[in-house]
Chain A
């Protein structure tokens, strides 16, 4: 069962001399929920950008299900089953919640086959239930630009579920959420875990402890440590990396 689904091998990303990633080795097993933490500028978001194709590697190799995706374009990477949630919630503001979900349901991506689809198709009726799951069922006709910040976060998570990728990359999904909302997100992620592989970048340690089995700590473009929450908290190197910020629990 424990097969490595995603493997990053010695990945380096160079932004005009600044090594955002510096020989990063990172792998995630199928069905795992992996949390990625680290101080600001550690390269967490860049790591996600590399996986989903937003940024190209300077050197190194990214494999998904034993196939190289290093040189694929964004939409090709999405089609083989990788979905991404962005740090700044990115939804389609001038479309309604329902239309957002419909666009995200992207089993068929060609222009012509979508030209003859009007209204919700049979497969897409499940989208209404999806809206219920994130508590937006009353807002299906509301333009996404009018939702509150928390609701927008929820909508983007729902979009990813609609897209139904094998691997979901989440960049700070609970930013701007209330305590209760964060807790509900944790519940949702634990549900998703069985069907999808998740990589979650998060600052909120409470949330990380609630959901994560294995935590990877990044520092200066590399993996610094990997282990359970307890192991990480006792790791001396991690403590040093978070120097000045009062330790990992306050990060």
Chain B
């Protein structure tokens, strides 16, 4: 066939128009970042800092999970903290039942239940005698919940800002329910005074490198799982759904299935992050399902670059890290929220695709010059 494309249009296309989905170099970068995370404890023997870094990694995991559904699937989930909180409560319930009797109330009941005149362990607590079952539920409950919510939303073809509103409303409802059901959940106080996680006789102390490594391992695993999903054909179809949902239907794909899938995977990773958070914080509280945390995840994602898994993850670590050090330094004690606000405004104005997007266009420009 003859070439009839006009020369003019050829000129417009340059290196910045291209995307090098070079999977190999991406795997190398992801691997290097994960390796760096793993060597942190060898340079640090401050238990307090290590514990703080562990929480940063968990926030990174949360942002990465949101990047999967928002950046790749186009689903802006403002209720990401629901899955996080459900996971964290599952772990907290299991660890609460493992406390030594002196910390629990009468007849092995958790202390807060005794205070609330509960006489027998509620049925919903029974499965958490088994740690294996608790870990399973910590992922399964958020996944099933997300599938249910997703089924209603995406079968009903709800998109865009309405998804954001519905997920935010669900977050508030679940949060209120947990606060309200004080006899089962500990209400405002949450579930405190937990045992340490012990697997095969090995203890994961929240203020030691063992808990840090545990988190680093699961962060790495979930990061590469998410990367694999985005690289698969399902990942490509998801991005197509994000760009042009209606068009995808006319190729024969049931769009809602893909949306429910990514929504559920994202919830599962968040649930896992929630369980890990309980381990390092040594409690679970309704603030883990708070609007504040849930909206923060969106900001971390936007700062890091929502269309890059590792960008979102590093964005979270970066923002939470700065936030932590600013709020603790004496100079910014009064003004740190202003400084954070300034950073967000700058990113939105000058780096619309986040830090990762800025690196990508820089790389494309360098390539073009050569």
- Whether B244 sits at the interface, judged by CB under 8 Å, is yes
Known: A78-B252, A106-B253. A148 touches B12 (CB 8 A): yes
| Interface contact A106-B252, CB-CB below 8 Å | yes
Interface string of A122-153 (1 = CB under 8 A from B): 00000000001101000101110011101100
| Interface contact A84-B250, CB-CB below 8 Å | yes
Q: How far is the CB of A145 from chain B (nearest CB, A)?
A: 8
Residues of A within 8 A of B233 (CB): 102-103, 114-115, 117-118
| Interface contact A109-B6, CB-CB below 8 Å | no
Residue of A nearest to B243 (CB): A92
| Interface contact B243-A109, CB-CB below 8 Å | no
| Interface contact B250-A135, CB-CB below 8 Å | no
- Whether A181 sits at the interface, judged by CB under 8 Å, is yes
Residues of A within 8 A of B20 (CB): 141
Q: Report the Cα distance A150→B5, complex, angstroms.
A: 8
| Total residues of chain A contacting the partner, CB 8 A | 52
| Interface contact A143-B2, CB-CB below 8 Å | no
Residue of B nearest to A110 (CB): B257
Which one of A109, A116, A133, A142 contacts B232 once the chains associate, using CB atoms below 8 Å?
A116
Interface string of B242-256 (1 = CB under 8 A from A): 111011111111110
- Whether B231 sits at the interface, judged by CB under 8 Å, is yes
| Interface contact A114-B249, CB-CB below 8 Å | no
Q: How far is the CB of B259 from chain A (nearest CB, A)?
A: 10
- Whether B347 sits at the interface, judged by CB under 8 Å, is no
- Whether A74 sits at the interface, judged by CB under 8 Å, is yes
Q: How large is the interface on B (under 10, 10 to 19, 20 to 34, 35 or more residues)?
A: 35 or more
Q: List 10 A-B contacts (CB under 8 A).
A: A78-B252, A93-B244, A94-B243, A95-B239, A111-B258, A115-B229, A118-B233, A135-B1, A147-B9, A181-B4
Which one of B19, B23, B254 contacts A109 once the chains associate, using CB atoms below 8 Å?
B254
Which one of A111, A139, A143, A147 contacts B234 once the chains associate, using CB atoms below 8 Å?
A111
Residues of B within 8 A of A250 (CB): none
What total of A-B pairs shows CB separation below 8 Å? 132
Interface string of A73-100 (1 = CB under 8 A from B): 1110011000110100011111110011
Q: How far is the CB of A77 from chain B (nearest CB, A)?
A: 8
| Interface contact A148-B253, CB-CB below 8 Å | no
Q: Report the Cα distance A225→B294, complex, angstroms.
A: 61
Q: How far is the CB of A76 from chain B (nearest CB, A)?
A: 8
| Interface contact A103-B19, CB-CB below 8 Å | no
Which one of A83, A111, A133, A151 contacts B9 once the chains associate, using CB atoms below 8 Å?
A151
Q: Report the Cα distance A146→B10, complex, angstroms.
A: 10
- Whether B261 sits at the interface, judged by CB under 8 Å, is yes
Q: Which residues of A contact B (CB under 8 A)?
A: 52, 54, 73-75, 78-79, 83-84, 86, 90-96, 99-100, 102-104, 106, 109-112, 114-118, 132-133, 135, 139, 141-143, 146-148, 150-151, 159, 163, 178, 180-181, 184, 187-188
Which one of A78, A141, A178 contacts B250 once the chains associate, using CB atoms below 8 Å?
A78
Residue of B nearest to A85 (CB): B250
| Interface contact B19-A141, CB-CB below 8 Å | yes
Known: A109-B254, A135-B3. A95 touches B249 (CB 8 A): no
Residue of B nearest to A136 (CB): B5
| Interface contact A103-B240, CB-CB below 8 Å | yes
| Interface contact A114-B232, CB-CB below 8 Å | yes
Residues of A within 8 A of B247 (CB): 86, 90-92
- Residues 208-246 of B contacting A (Cβ, < 8 Å): 228-229, 231-234, 236-237, 239-240, 242-244, 246
- Whether B21 sits at the interface, judged by CB under 8 Å, is yes
Residues of B within 8 A of A142 (CB): 13, 17-18
Q: Report the Cα distance A188→B12, complex, angstroms.
A: 26
Residue of A nearest to B242 (CB): A94
